[in-house]
Structure 1
Amino acid sequence: MIEDFDYNEQQAFVQMGVLPEDYENQDYFRMTQVLTARSPDDRPEDPMEMLKRLGIAPTKIGGKEEK
């Protein structure tokens, strides 16, 4: 598990230029959130928004109109 911490710290340094001292002085959980954040294109899409984007009326799925 320590190796995972070290790897995250290494990636922060190599990929983003975060100095080890700065990394170690930050809140671990927040730093993990930042390092694992996904771009908007990589995030799951809301199914209802996807249907709207595709031009499918979400109220008429399955041949029945929902109320």
Structure 2
Amino acid sequence: MKVFVDSTRCSGYGTCAEHCPSVFSLDEWGYAAAISEDVPAGAEEQVRIAAQDCPEQAIRYED
């Protein structure tokens, strides 16, 4: 699985990092980025939940 964060849509809610801190990090202003495009084994479900819960729909993933 690969994950992508559209930084132009992110508003810094931080829910993605709460759901999956092994995949998402927040910068000093609270905006999200994927630590790596490749999702570690076992984190796939958390990434799906993070994408669904993103208020700005800034996260997409590819299985």
Same-fold call, TM cutoff 0.5: no
| Bigger relative contact order (CA 8 A; separation at least 6) | 2
- Whose strand fraction is larger, Structure 1's or Structure 2's? 2
Larger Rg: 1
